[in-house]
Amino acid sequence: MPTPFFDEEFTFTNPDGSSIRVRGWGNQHYAVFETLDGFTIVKDPETGYYKYAKLSEDGNDLIPSDADVGKAEPAAFGIEPHLRIRRDSAKRKAMSAPMLQGERPRWQQRREKKRDELKARALAAGPGDRPRSTTTVGNYVGLCILVEFPDVSPTISRTEVSDYCNKQGYTGFGNNGSVRDYFTDVSRGKLTYTNVVTDYYTASNNRSYYTDPGVSYGTRARQLIVEALDHLKAQGFDFGQLSSDSSGYIYALNVFYVGPTVNNWSEGLWPHSWGLATPYSVGGGKKFRDYQITNMGSALTLRTFCHENGHMICDYPDLYDYGGESAGVGHYCLMCYGGNNRNPVQVCAYLKNESGWATSLTEIKPGITANLTAGDNDFYIYAKSSTEYFIVENRQKTGRDTYLPDAGLAIFHVDEQGSNNNEQRTSAQHYECSLEQADNRYDLEENANAGDGDDLFGAPSHTDFSDSTTPDAKWWDGSNSGLKIAQISASAATMTFTSPVEAGWENNKLVQWVYGHANSQLAYAIIEGVPGWKRIAPTSEDGVANVLEILKLAKANGVRVNVYIGSDSQIHAAVML
């Protein structure tokens, strides 16, 4: 399947037609499978049959043993369960997968262009520059091609598929809305994404032609897609209605073929996303390259379709590890494991902000009290540069996020120059987007799970995050960030936190507003560069009357002041310059 899978069950078939039930972890580039009782399996390249696996002497490969799966007791052959190759070998195999070679998909090219621009801006802007969004807002239209085979007829109607893609309030097959509903919800109405769903195209050959495991993975899928596009062109299909980028490449080509997945992993029509061998021109300056193809089975589900269109429409990266040696951001984002097939979790704050979907994006400054409502795309940010920053959101296990592993304050550490293939947590090798796990166990990086009930922040157990906590708020180069998040409230629909003030003098500042009367002991001021109204401390040594008078005179005459702000965030003294 194009999306990653974590502890999911599949049925594999041997050359004699016998089947075995397996559990898998991985993606279209690299995966590992076990029998349901936990013994790793591998296909024998000479016979095509599945065997219990053993490790090569150097630990770099899984190799077939003499024990047939289901016909022998692996323990009798000295085979241990849950075998895995070395982490660096898994990464190397994943990154050398055929579908990661050659020309990259258009969405990756668009993203890399953005990265280059960001890198140049970061060098020019210097520290403290905030990240910039590349908006995906407005109306986008993709194409969804339906394919049947001469020997396999459809069981799901075109109308049903169109409703699944486009109908507001869709509930078919137990899904929480349609594809359109999903993107409308997670963008807070800023993106409307629909698909033109074609009539069924009948392939030129029976299914077995396209699923032939002896032909290189993806070859026949590309052939099938070109066949269907040729048919649409011959029928006079209006490709002009489809959304395209500035170079004329149509963003999204989705292909559903009838029936179950009859191939084993990485063979034939095993679901995948890729690009056509050469751009396919449809006239009017428009052309196709990126595509995703998957089987329909007996039910339509949202997760895979939404994930792949996150790539094609929004240029989102994968936030999982292609080598499978770590879990990326786990079930906390659509672009990783995604939670649930029929009700996938939301896109994480990092990518929502990148798409221009933030309702509010507030800088974390000393003295603030932050309020975050779950599902409203309210984010708080603390930036080192336009490429490295912390972004904070409230995630609750309701609605789109029902299948989150945990609820509370989610703190993501983003380095847009990083990669979620790098779980090492070093200055040179680290994730693009890391979830700061409140329990400090780094289960996601260590591949212990895809999220658990102790990952997010919230009272009473996890109320602070700073350079001195565990986990800490240091930048990837090891330097202190200075970020201080404290008094995090209990997990709820609306959560709060504060950023404590360091007691000290704020020097050479303008007084922007003053309010209060000395005899009321309630007086406030706004000081240049200091967030929010600050109360004049009633126990100030200068007295409220003296401080208030100084600030009023300074405001009236445009004179700068030095003010002393205590750790209670109140003004304790003032001096006119």
Which residue bears the tokens 């009023």? 552
126: confidence class by pLDDT, cuts 50, 70, 90: low
Domains and CATH numbers, the chain: 5-84 (no CATH), 135-314 (no CATH), 504-576 (2.40.50.340)
Query: Residue 336 carries which DSSP code?
Result: T
The whole-number pLDDT of residue 569 equals 80
The whole-number pLDDT of residue 463 equals 98
Q: What is the mean pLDDT of residues 425-431?
A: 97
The whole-number pLDDT of residue 107 equals 95
Which residue bears the tokens 């983003």? 414
Which has the minimum average pLDDT: 140-144, 292-296, 522-526, 529-533?
529-533
76: confidence class by pLDDT, cuts 50, 70, 90: confident
The whole-number pLDDT of residue 543 equals 66
Q: pLDDT exceeding 90 applies to what percent of the chain?
A: 84
Tell me the two tokens of residue 383.
């930036």
Whether pLDDT at 546 is above 90:
no
Which has the minimum average pLDDT: 130-139, 370-379, 537-546?
537-546
Residues ≥6 apart with Cβ < 8 Å to 572: 537, 540, 541, 542, 547, 564, 565, 566
Q: What is the mean pLDDT of residues 399-427?
A: 97
Whether pLDDT at 533 is above 90:
no
pLDDT tens column, 449-501: 999 999 999 999 999 999 999 999 999 999 999 999 999 999 999 999 999 88
Q: What is the mean pLDDT of residues 232-243?
A: 98
The whole-number pLDDT of residue 568 equals 80
Residues ≥6 apart with Cβ < 8 Å to 151: 206, 207, 208
pLDDT tens column, 386-400: 899 999 999 999 999
Spatial distance between the Cα atoms of 231 and 403, rounded to a whole number of angstroms: 41
72: confidence class by pLDDT, cuts 50, 70, 90: confident
Whether pLDDT at 128 is above 80:
no
Whether pLDDT at 127 is above 60:
no
Q: What is the mean pLDDT of residues 18-45?
A: 95
Q: What is the mean pLDDT of residues 552-561?
A: 94
The whole-number pLDDT of residue 122 equals 60
Would you say 412 and 435 are in contact if contact means Cβ atoms under 8 Å apart?
yes
The whole-number pLDDT of residue 537 equals 87
Mean pLDDT, rounded, of the chain:
93
Residues ≥6 apart with Cβ < 8 Å to 561: 509, 510, 511, 527, 550, 551, 554, 574, 575, 576, 577
Packing angle of the helix pair 179-186, 158-166 (nearest 10 deg): 0
Spatial distance between the Cα atoms of 484 and 152, rounded to a whole number of angstroms: 60
Greatest mean pLDDT range, 121-135, 166-180, 522-536: 166-180
115: confidence class by pLDDT, cuts 50, 70, 90: confident
